[in-house]
Amino acid sequence: MNIDWKNLGFGYIKTDYRYVSEFKDGKWDEGKLTTDERVIINESACVLQYAQTCFEGLKAYRTESGKVVCFRPDLNAQRMIESCKRLEMPVFPEERFIDAVKQLVKKNIDYVPPYGSGAALYLRPYEFGSDPVLGVKPATEYQFRIFASPVGPYFKRGAKAITLRVPDFDRAAPLGTGHVKAGLNYAMSMHAIVDAHNQGYNENMYLDSATRTKVEETGGANIIFVTKDNKVVTPKSNTILPSITRRSLMYVAKHYLGLEAEEREIRIEEIGNFKECALCGTAAILSPVGKVVDHGKETLFPSGMDKPGEITQKLYDTLTGIQMGRIEAPEGWILEIA
Ligand SMILES: *Cc1c(COP(=O)(O)O)cnc(C)c1O
């Protein structure tokens, strides 16, 4: 394998196999692994015209003892079922999702980065409506697929601090679907992201679209804050994507670090009271934020400027310790694949 594991970024690298199952005449076929990375569909496929598609993201890790594991894939399967329901797509059963993940990782095992490299094998399950529609209605045929790509960190650690700005744009959620992991939400956020980059920011800190007063999340990651007395807080909202990383970090804060952890509404005016801020997600893991700018009003998190704050670092070490097998995991969190 000719891959420089230590310097991998977050980008697509073609691997040998991908999993495909097709839904037709009201049922899923038995599914298969294929070496063909192309998808061939009709020009009027529902996914192309009306964006009937959703996805998931999870990682396979090489542990300290050389095993290959996945982190809580059952939660990805369950969240994808919720996304499919909201988009009127047939659900791919949880047991089959897990089985497909296992088959795929085993077949691409040489692409799972070595322990200690900081890289992982990213898995991208997705489903889309594949047969032609012209009137607005759900497709009748679908494909469920998973491909794999080795990835490094989403935000390079040790690089310049992450800066966010509060945009004039609402976060996608066009039909109140902000809690659905769907390409359409990302499509509607592209302009806000490019605009943030053009202004020198890494990402947007979106506010709730109803009142524009409460913190939601960034384009592809949830947000956690740490209070001056070491309490971990994260926004309560049903229009943000329920991050599995965030749920896990809140558990780790309470049960491993003995900290208070609370989900509550967070007003944008109060973020200056926090001492740490970080982005969390499968891709971002836990990346410290150094600065948030809300229309000229700057909030600095000095702890996140050149290295993570104390609590952010503890959360990061414990979560990645659990994922890499250095720290004992709660029951059911780790799926051993090889
Ligand atoms: C995937 C995603 C996240 C992170 O969720 P994880 O389950 O932790 O990977 C956060 N926000 C959005 C919008 C997402 O799509």
| Ligand 1 near 241 CB (within 6 A) | yes
What's residue 173's pLDDT? 58
Contact 182, 55 (CB under 8 A): yes
Instruction: State how far the alpha carbon of 34 is from the alpha carbons of 17, 38, 107, 138, 234, in Å.
Output: 5, 10, 10, 27, 41
Final residue before a domain boundary, out of 151, 185, 215: 151
pLDDT tier, 305 (very low <50, low <70, confident <90, very high otherwise): confident
Q: Indicate whether 173 and 135 sit together in one domain.
A: no
pLDDT digit string, tens, across residues 317-336: 999 999 999 999 999 999 99
Q: Indicate whether 107 and 201 sit together in one domain.
A: no
Mean pLDDT of 112-135: 97
Q: Indicate whether 177 and 66 sit together in one domain.
A: no
Q: Indicate whether 9 and 147 sit together in one domain.
A: yes
pLDDT digit string, tens, across residues 42-55: 999 999 999 999 99
Max Cα distance, the chain (Å): 58
CA 221 to ligand 1: nearest atom: 10
* SS3 per-residue string spanning the chain: CCCCHHHCCCCCCCCCCEEEEEEECCEECCCEEECCCCCCCCCCEHHHHHCCEEECCEEEEECCCCCEEEECHHHHHHHHHHHHHHCCCCCCCHHHHHHHHHHHHHHCHHHCCCCCCCCEEEEEEEEEECCECCCCCCCCCEEEEEEEEEECCCCCCCCCCEEEECCCCCCCCCCCCCCCCCHHHHHCCHHHHHHHHHCCCCEECCECCCCCCEECCCCCCEEEEEECCCCEEEECCCCCCCCHHHHHHHHHHHHCCCCCEEEECCEHHHHHHEEEEEEEECCCEEEEEEEEEECCEEEECHHHCCCCCHHHHHHHHHHHHHHCCCCCCCCCCEEECC
Task: Report CA(222)–ligand 1 centroid distance (Å).
Answer: 7
| Ligand 1 near 282 CB (within 6 A) | yes
Residues 322, 254: Cα–Cα separation, whole Å: 15
Percent of the chain with pLDDT over 90: 88
Q: Indicate whether 176 and 318 sit together in one domain.
A: yes
| Ligand 1 near 148 CB (within 6 A) | no
Report the candidate in 128, 125, 145 with the shortest Cα–Cα distance to residue 59.
125
Q: Indicate whether 170 and 306 sit together in one domain.
A: yes
Q: CATH code at 106?
A: 3.30.470.10
**pLDDT: is 100 or 184 the higher one?**
100
Mean pLDDT of 259-288: 97
Structural Rg of the chain based on CA atoms: 20
Q: CATH code at 267?
A: 3.20.10.10
Task: Report CA(134)–ligand 1 centroid distance (Å).
Answer: 31
What's residue 159's pLDDT? 63
Structure tokens of 11? 């980008």
pLDDT exceeds 60 at position 18: yes
What's residue 77's pLDDT? 98
pLDDT digit string, tens, across residues 231-243: 999 999 989 999 9
Please name the amino acid found at residue 41. Answer: I
**Calculated CA dihedral for residues 247, 318, 126, 33, nearest 10 degrees:** -140
| Ligand 1 near 222 CB (within 6 A) | yes
What's residue 294's pLDDT? 97
**pLDDT: is 154 or 79 the higher one?**
79
Q: Indicate whether 23 and 44 sit together in one domain.
A: yes
Contact 299, 290 (CB under 8 A): no
What's residue 210's pLDDT? 87
Residue nearest to atom 13 of ligand 1 (CA): 220
Task: Report CA(135)–ligand 1 centroid distance (Å).
Answer: 31
Structure tokens of 169? 């744009």
> In the chain, how many domains are there?
2
Q: Indicate whether 141 and 196 sit together in one domain.
A: no
Task: Report CA(299)–ligand 1 centroid distance (Å).
Answer: 24
Determine whether 243 is exposed, middle or buried from the number of CB atoms within 10 Å of its CB (0-12, 13-18, 19+): buried
Q: Indicate whether 145 and 15 sit together in one domain.
A: yes
In-domain check, residue 330 = no
Mean pLDDT of 203-230: 95
pLDDT tier, 153 (very low <50, low <70, confident <90, very high otherwise): confident
Q: In the predicted model, what is the mean pLDDT of the chain?
A: 95
Residue 45 belongs to domain spanning: 5-151
CA 217 to ligand 1: nearest atom: 11
| Ligand 1 near 221 CB (within 6 A) | yes
Report the candidate in 311, 289, 310 with the shortest Cα–Cα distance to residue 298.
289
- The best mutation among 181, 193, 223, 250 to test binding of ligand 1, ranked by most ligand atoms within 8 Å of the C-beta, falls on 181
Q: Indicate whether 182 and 127 sit together in one domain.
A: no
Q: Indicate whether 96 and 187 sit together in one domain.
A: no
In-domain check, residue 336 = no
Final residue before a domain boundary, out of 119, 151, 183: 151
Backbone angles phi, psi at 248, to 5 degrees: -70, -40
Mean pLDDT of 139-145: 98
What's residue 1's pLDDT? 77
Mind telling me the catalytic residues?
Answer: 181
Residue nearest to atom 12 of ligand 1 (CA): 220
What's residue 212's pLDDT? 92
In-domain check, residue 333 = no
In-domain check, residue 202 = yes
Task: Report CA(281)–ligand 1 centroid distance (Å).
Answer: 5
Mean pLDDT of 147-175: 82
